């Protein structure tokens, strides 16, 4: 390819999304990742896009809200350019209500959502019986249904971005010479390297384990959430469930009895899945910045370079908006990054 305007290290969801948004604006982008696209936690199996609760609103929650709202147009543009599906749908989410206190809180959040979600999504309390078998068990017979949550298939999404980038003449390489502006989007190992370089903790990796079930009855149904479990119906006729959060681990990529427990709990909480066979077990490590928010903006050590890391559990949901503001910053010098997302927030 011609001399690149931007070199991105890391072909996970942040690196690929930023590359796509910059390429759409006419930038020449090259992506370098020795392990290939979606090889880390971005190649996982779950794909839950879930919003923060509509209360105690702040710039971080507003940023995520805007990203979830723009997700449909973002993924449509990716699919149209490359011809591959990302498995995206804003399919909503169902959660059980267990007692009167939970019901009161849900009513308050429902009212808050009317204003904070600007009429673009809603949060309602519904009868569990109205959802038939596809519902979590609820002691009160009531569920919270929000229409802001969505889902996408992580591997399909990464493949769709690669195809879209190829349509712009951009490709993912396992090695290459850096050219132009540098962006580091190197995941949990990048956070550990940055901590070593700065001689202070800035973030770490948190292992997660998930599973895929063969279940074709509800590909477009809402995702389910109960007992800290995400149950995600995917467009390819599978159900993903997860996940664990392990700060300490020996093998980043092995599954064990902790995933067995997740599967057992999921089949207990959601009886409709009782007979669904497990067809894949997955483990990977998600990058978690010290502030728990994504770390985006100017690189804290390398003048003229940029960083996008720390997506942790919300990376795919945040990706469309993060790609937009990083393209603004890199290509136009416009800085619209919330204070809590800047690298400095993880250096305090």
Q: Give residue-wise pLDDT tens across range 38-87.
A: 999 999 999 999 999 999 999 999 999 999 999 999 999 999 999 999 99
pLDDT for residue 1? 46
pLDDT tens per residue across all 348 residues of the chain: 467 899 999 999 999 999 999 999 999 999 999 999 999 999 999 999 999 999 999 999 999 999 999 999 999 999 999 999 999 999 999 999 999 999 999 999 999 999 999 999 999 999 999 999 899 989 999 999 999 999 999 999 999 999 999 999 999 999 999 999 999 999 999 999 999 999 999 999 999 999 999 998 666 899 999 989 999 999 888 999 998 999 999 999 999 999 999 999 999 888 889 999 999 999 999 999 999 999 999 999 999 999 999 999 999 999 999 999 999 999 999 999 999 999 999 987
Show the DSSP H helices in the chain as ranges. Answer: 13-24, 59-82, 100-116, 154-167, 187-198, 257-269, 315-327
User: Which tens digit of pLDDT belongs to each residue from 170-183?
Assistant: 999 999 999 999 99
What is the C-alpha separation between 42 and 21, in angstroms, rounded?
A: 18
CA 113 to chain centre: 22
Residue 36, number of CB atoms within 10 A of its CB: 14
pLDDT for residue 269? 86
Q: What is the pTM of this model?
A: 0.96
Q: Which two tokens stand for residue 277?
A: 């066979």
């Amino acid at each position: 390819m011609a001399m690149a305007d931007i070199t991105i290290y890391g072909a996970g969801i942040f690196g690929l999304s930023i590359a796509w948004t910059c390429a759409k604006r006419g930038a020449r982008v090259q992506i370098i990742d020795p392990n290939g696209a979606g090889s880390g936690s971005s190649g996982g199996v779950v794909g839950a896009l879930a919003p923060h609760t509509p209360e105690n609103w702040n710039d971080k929650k507003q940023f995520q809200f805007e990203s979830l709202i723009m997700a449909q147009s973002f993924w449509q543009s990716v699919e149209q350019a490359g011809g591959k599906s990302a498995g995206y749908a804003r399919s909503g989410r169902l959660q059980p209500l267990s007692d009167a206190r939970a019901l009161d809180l849900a009513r308050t959040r429902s009212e808050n959502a009317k204003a904070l979600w600007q009429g673009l999504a809603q949060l309602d309390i519904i009868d569990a019986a109205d959802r038939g078998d596809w519902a979590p068990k609820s002691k009160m017979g009531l569920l919270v249904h929000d229409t802001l949550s969505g889902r996408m298939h992580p591997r399909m999404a990464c493949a769709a971005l690669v195809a879209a980038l190829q349509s712009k003449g951009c490709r993912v390489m396992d090695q290459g010479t850096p050219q132009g502006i540098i962006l580091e989007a190197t995941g949990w190992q990048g956070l550990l390297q940055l901590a070593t370089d700065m001689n202070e903790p800035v973030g770490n990796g948190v292992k997660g384990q998930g599973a895929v079930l063969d279940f074709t009855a509800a590909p477009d149904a809402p995702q389910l959430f109960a007992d800290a479990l995400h149950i995600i119906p995917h467009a390819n006729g599978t159900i993903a469930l997860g996940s664990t959060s392990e700060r300490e681990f020996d093998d980043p990529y092995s599954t064990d009895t902790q995933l067995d427990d997740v599967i057992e709990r999921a089949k207990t909480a959601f009886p409709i899945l009782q007979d669904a066979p497990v067809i894949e077990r997955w483990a990977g490590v998600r990058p978690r910045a010290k502030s728990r928010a994504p770390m985006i903006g100017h690189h804290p050590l390398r003048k003229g370079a940029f960083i996008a890391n720390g997506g942790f559990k919300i990376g795919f949901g945040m990706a469309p908006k993060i790609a937009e503001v990083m393209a603004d910053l890199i290509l136009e010098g416009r800085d619209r990054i919330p204070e809590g997302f800047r690298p400095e927030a993880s250096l305090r």
